[in-house]
Amino acid sequence: MTTQAPSPVGSATPARTPGGIGESPARPDGTLKVTGQFAYSSDLWLDEALFGVTLRSPHARACITGIDIAKALAVPGVHAVLTHEDVPGLPYYGLDHPDQPVLAIDEVRYQGEPVAILAATDPHTARRALSLIEVTYDVLPPVTDARRAVFDPSIDRVHPDGNVVRHQPVRVGSADEVTADVVVVGEYEVGMQDQAFLGPESGLAVPAENGGVDLYIATQWLHVDRGQIARCLDLPEEKVRLTLAGVGGAFGAREDLSMQVHACMLALHTGKPVRMSYDRAESFLGHVHRHPAWLRYEHGATRDGKLVYVKATIVLDGGAYTSTTPAVVGNAASLGVGPYEVPHIAIDVYGARTNNPPCGAMRGFGAVQVCYAYESQMDALAAELGLSPVEIRIRNAVSQGSKLATGQVIDSPAPLADMLRRVASLPLPPSTVDSSGDLPGGYGNTTRGEGVRRGVGYGVGIKNICFSEGFDDYATARVRLAVVGGEPVVTVHTAAAEVGQGLVTLQQQIVRTELGVSTVLLQPADTTIGSAGSSSASRQSYMTGGAVKAACEAVRTRVAQRLGHSTVELVGGKVLAGDTIVDLAAAVGDEPIEETVVFRHRPTVPMDPVTGQGDSHVQLALCVHRAVVDVDVELGLVKVVELAAVQDVGRVMNRVALEGQIHGGSAQGLGLALMEEIQVVDGLVRNPSFTDYLIPTILDVPPMPLTILEHPDPHAPYGLRGAGEPPTLSSTPAIAAAVRAATGLRLRRVPIRPEHITHPT
């Protein structure tokens, strides 16, 4: 079919389409979320839907000697009770290594491990029947000390594969042979932090007419979920369709499966839709957490403050199963000396299996734990040398052309010294307080200021962006330009998970910038299009943003070809073709233009298993924090007065969303510094609720002045840098340093509790 060439409409340059890159248009889902009309995964409903529930182990380690489901099956309204014997396909799943049972087979390895699942007509019947399932256990002593799990050959094996998931050394120079004028040694601990998202694990599984299943799910990675689910159900992937449901936060915890396979098993077994939704206590047991860590560091430096060597031994507790521990180990090893130039390095990082709760992805992903330790070491070194915390960092700061511990050269701007000077030059908040609410303890009137001391501390973090170590990291986008009602309309389809970070807005911004079209529609994210990868590693703006941009460019090329040009510019609904301007709607006509593009970043390589060397990362991002705290040294209470940040983002894509990401990451770092920790005793979680697991509230979060720098990365779409994770790294050590400055205590563990201040060891 041929179309008549559209007539020129004039020569005046049209205005740019509003809402493009660099602006902050309203989120398409914003109003619905603010008004409570947005449908999250736990809101999904179908008539005749059954309710699925999970029976979990009360023990951290035990052999299963019997399961009796007869009484539960006899309850009126119960449609199914399933155990490991009912798993149709592979009985194991896992992101990096399929070692986690769909339902426990002969042994449970952590408290909360799923043992049986049940579906009934209503949640009350389901829970009552669940209590009638009889499981007999032979309880065993749990392995809970990660260091013993790694280094003590006499300790029990948690898993047949052994207790060490990955050991990654890094060796540069001769760290064991060189000497230094000043040496500081420290041992540090990081507690188990929870992602603490507000939307619990939930979803709806619906049997399909073709013998497959449709799953509507809150997740971070649709396609990897589908692959694992299909193998466990013994179905081809094309018979397992996933559609993203509303996600109430993620922060890494939705990378692993939770109830996905269970809901699908129940739906296929009963032939009915099945809803599953965890309560808060079950959610604490049903997803991975941040790896607790033990870290021993030794820093050597010259008299003038230049680093000579860094040695470190790090143990990350991965809990009962592999999850993402191998990649977390890689991050901790490759970023283990921080953003500093160090000629001699000897690092050993171990990922351990224990009978503690499974740990995996959480914002910062291995870089958080090492950042707390190496920044604490930099403060100790500064004190030993009589230098300021800022000066010691400036003297060792990386810049463009510096090498990481892996030997990878930083080949884009890295203005760390400038960032440090900027944050140090910011005015300090006033020392006076206007009300008791401004003092530690907040509005509880716990103090009148008698024992309150102020401290200032700094923290620097470096975080890799996108997946590393040779992972085939890609994203797919389909862009369709059509004319609807006489106006150009663009529809975008990706499988990228919107988990609250604002990707839905960014996709629209990219289209408006590249194609000059105001009306941009987003199809639901699902598995009918190619993978967009995970919404993690601060990668979606880079990867799916890059895919949408590339698909738009392909559409623009098609428009140019229709007009007989090699290139055109699309602005404000018009086509700028040579010296003429044409209506875009006329150029498209009744033949829509559609392009699907797969976008990949530059290649990376795995770290060498002996030396740790290799160009393992795609992109690196820096953030610097200065924390100001008031500490009541008599009561052990801390109030963060201000938490200022300087971050290089490459290019600002959406300032409002960006500021929200930096503020949110800083707040999670504050939580790790002062209050957030899952208390695990003998493998058992003692505080699975938001009553006892404390997260920062609006009264805990201080003013957060931001200085946002734009030094574009020439390798990235628009020059952007992933921005969501770096502030989580540097905020924690900055707050810890400020508390040390106020108290004079060493404080080598986070979170810092009141008793660490009032009764230091």
The string of pLDDT tens digits covering residues 63-74 is 999 999 999 999
The residue whose two tokens read 């463009």 is 400
Instruction: Name 204's Cβ contacts closer than 8 Å, sequence gap at least 6.
Output: 41, 44, 45, 46, 49, 215, 216, 217, 245, 263, 273, 274, 275
pLDDT > 80? residue 5: no
**Residue 446: predicted pLDDT:** 76
Q: pLDDT at residue 9 above 70? A: no
**If we measure between CA atoms, which residue out of 539, 410, 545, 525 comes closest to residue 471?**
539
- In the block, tokens 């330009």 appear at 481
Residue 723, pLDDT above cutoff 60? yes
Q: How far apart are alpha carbons 86 and 116 in whole angstroms?
A: 10
Across the range 376-394, mean pLDDT stands at 98
pLDDT (tens digit per residue) in 118-133: 999 999 999 999 999 9
Mean pLDDT computed over 100-108 = 98
Average pLDDT over residues 547-568: 97
pLDDT at 639: 97
State the pTM of this model: 0.96
pLDDT tens digit sequence for 315-346: 999 999 999 999 999 999 999 999 999 999 99
* Alpha helix ranges (H) inside 271-340: 280-286, 325-334
Asked if pLDDT for residue 509 goes beyond 90, the answer is: yes
Residue 435 confidence (pLDDT): 61
Is the confidence at residue 445, as pLDDT, over 80?
A: no
Note the pLDDT of residue 1. Answer: 39
* Residue 761: per-residue pLDDT: 83
Average confidence (pLDDT) over 615-627 = 98
Q: How high is the pLDDT of residue 434?
A: 59
pLDDT category at 117 given cuts 50, 70, 90 is very high
To the nearest whole percent, how much of the chain has pLDDT over 90?
A: 95
Predicted pLDDT of residue 240 = 98
Residue 457: per-residue pLDDT: 98
List, for residues 391-439, the tens digit of each pLDDT value. 999 999 999 999 999 999 999 999 999 999 999 999 999 986 656 668 8
Residue 737, H or E segment: helix 726-743
What pLDDT sits at residue 464? 98
For the chain, what percent of residues have pLDDT higher than 70?
Answer: 98
Q: What is the C-alpha to C-alpha distance for residues 327 and 312, in angstroms, rounded to an integer?
A: 18
Q: Take residue 677 and report the two structure tokens written for it.
A: 């920790």
- At residue 578, the pLDDT reads 87
Map out the domains of the chain with their CATH numbers. Answer: 30-38+474-600 (3.30.365.10), 42-140+205-247+254-278 (3.90.1170.50), 293-468+607-758 (3.30.365.10)
Other beta carbons less than 10 A from residue 162's beta carbon = 12
Average pLDDT over the chain, rounded to whole?
96
pLDDT (0 to 100) of residue 535 = 98
Measured between alpha carbons, how far is 285 from 277 in angstroms, rounded to an integer?
13
How large is the greatest C-alpha to C-alpha distance in the chain, in angstroms?
85
pLDDT confidence of residue 2: 42
- pLDDT tens digits, 633-661: 999 999 999 999 999 999 999 999 999 99
- Between strands 344-352 and 92-93, the pairing is unpaired
Read off the pLDDT of each residue in 434-455 and give the average, rounded to a whole number. 79
Cα angle 677, 683, 686 (rounded to 5 degrees) comes to 50
